[in-house]
Each structure stands twice: as structure tokens, then as C-alpha cells.
Structure 1
Amino acid sequence: MRNKKNILFATIALTLISGFTYVISQTKPTTEPKIIQDTVKNVKPAIIPLPDSVFTDKGLKLRPYKKNAHASYYADRFNGKRTANGSRFNNNNYTAAHKKLPFGTRVKVTNEANGKFVIVKITDRGPFVKTREIDLSKRAFMDITKHKGAGAMKVTIETIIE
């Protein structure tokens, strides 16, 4: 009996001294901080906008690269030849040549005249004409051209962010 009184007295003393709350049946203290309403700030969640250069189009993250770029297509004589990245060129694949973009970069090329676009992969260097920005494979070029007899067109180039 005396032992129970000592435990009860110790529990009350600890509660008053340290601020801990005890339940007689428990042996571990529970420390739950009290939230004072005056100190709680109304903080809105931070919304971090994407940079203006990044937007999405049908699930793709695109970064504009160049507007009013001059595009042409590979001649048939390059079919089967090695490209700068080591693969064999095929005019029926969706590939392209660019002077600066890294190999393997996927690019969305949009014809400015009719709005049609195609997604190609950079596999080669070129074109080696100063006024041209990109050389498309013949299939990619014919998919977006307005006139099948054309050899060049104005396009918008956007890189796809992965």
C-alpha cells in the first residue's frame, strides 16, 4: 500500500514539475505539444510556376528551340549510309540531322504553313548549308509538307524534355 502511495505521489510531482501527463496504468509519458491558435499562421502552399520556355502538349514536355527555321530532307543517295552517330540511315525512319543538338534528342518539328507536326530523333550532323537548320528523313518531311513536290519549308523546332 505504501508503495502505491509513493508511485502516486511521484506521478503527481512529475506532472507538476515537468509538464508531462501520466495515466496511472501507463508507465511511459506522452508528450503531445499543445497548439495555441494565435501562433498558427495561415500559410498558402507555394505554387512554383514552370519557366515560360516549358509547356506540355498531349503529355509531352516541350521546350521551344527555334521558330521560322528552314527545313529540308535527305536525298535518296544517303539511304543505307552511316550517320554521324554510327547507325545506318533509312529514309523511311523518323530521323533528322542537326548541327548542334545532341544525338538521341527527340524533336517535334511543326510545319508553320499547315500546323502538321512530326517527332524525329537526331541521329546525324548537318545540314551543311548555312541557311538550313534541320534535315529530316524523306518520310518525316513528306508527312508534314503541304506540297509533296516541295524541297524545303519553314518549321518550328521544339525539343522534347524527358
Structure 2
Amino acid sequence: MTLSIGAQRAIATAVLMVVFVAGAGPAFAKTQCGKASWYAMHSRTASGERANPSAMVAAHRSLPFGTMVKVENLNNGRSVVVRINDRGPFVRGRVIDLSKRAANELGFVSRGVTSVRVSVMDKKGTAAAAVCG
């Protein structure tokens, strides 16, 4: 039996979501520290929705679409909550790409990149606690 590419991707996505829900695997750590960048595009995101630079959204390499994360700027203490709706960043050392609005609220639009802690929110809206560095 041969599966289409679309069916193979659907199965892979379902498996990854089960792994995420089970809390297994280092790719799905509840907290990540690293660099954040921002982008302002108007095309379609990897989730299929139209990109909106004024929305509180972000791109992450592996978190499921719809995941809510708290992003804390380690340089100034500001934080925002964003929804994952795209894939990326694809630059070594970066853990998240934020919409321009989220980057503006974190205070790093002019710098382009900043150090952050990214924490997955639970169903109660609480972020995982962790120390970076």
C-alpha cells in the first residue's frame, strides 16, 4: 500500500502531536532560551492562514500550530503571549520568529534580534518556569 505525500504528512503531524501531548522528546521542551527575531509578511503562513504583522503570532520549528507561548525579552523584562501559526526560524541559534507587533511590544524592533525565554502555556494560562543561562 502506497500513501500519498499528503497522507504521509498528515500521519507524521499526528504522531508529532501525540509525542508533544505526551511530553516526550527534547524537541518539545516546555521552555527554550535563545534568540528571537521578527518578520512582517503578508503571504500565507505554514498553517495556511494569511500572515498579519499586527497579530500576536509567531513561527516555531516544532510546536504545534495553535500553541500559546509566553515570550520574555531577557534584556528588558518585557513579555508577551503569542500563538504559533507558522514554521521557522531557520537561522541557527534562533528559537522563535515573532510578528512585528509582538517584537514591538517586547521592545526590540529596531535591534532586530534579542535574547528570549519561550515558555509553553498550559490550559490554565500558566507558563512553564525555567531559568536561562
**TM-score after normalising by structure 1:** 0.56
Map 1:92-111 to 2 at 5 A.
92-111=54-73
Q: Work out whether 1:142 is the aligned partner of 2:104.
A: yes
Separation (CA, whole Å) in 2 of partners of 1:113 and 1:95:
21
Cα distance per residue 1:100-133 (max 9 Å; x no partner): 1110000000001111100000000011112211
Q: Work out whether 1:154 is the aligned partner of 2:115.
A: yes
CA RMSD of aligned residues (A): 1.4
Separation (CA, whole Å) in 1 of partners of 2:32 and 2:103:
17
Runs of 4+ displaced beyond 4 Å: none
Label 1:151 to 1:140 Cα distance change in 2 as closer, same or farther (>3 A): same
Q: What are structure 2's unaligned runs of at least 5 residues?
A: 1-28, 124-133
Cα distance per residue 1:120-155 (max 9 Å; x no partner): 00000011112211000000001012x541100000
Structure 2 counterpart of 1:71? 36
Separation (CA, whole Å) in 2 of partners of 1:115 and 1:128:
25
Partner secondary structure for residue 121 of structure 2: strand
Q: What are structure 1's unaligned runs of at least 5 residues?
A: 1-62
Which one-letter code corresponds to 2:117 in the other structure?
Answer: T
Map 1:1-40 to 2 at 5 A.
none
Give the structure, 1 or 2, with the largest relative contact order (CA under 8 Å, sep 6 or more). Answer: 2
User: By how many angstroms is 1:83 displaced?
Assistant: 0.5
Aligned partners of 2:70 and 2:119 also within 8 Å: yes
Which one-letter code corresponds to 1:96 in the other structure?
Answer: A
Share of identical aligned residues, percent? 44
Label 1:103 to 1:116 Cα distance change in 2 as closer, same or farther (>3 A): same
**How many residue pairs get matched?**
95
Which one-letter code corresponds to 1:66 in the other structure?
Answer: Q
Which one-letter code corresponds to 1:108 in the other structure?
Answer: K
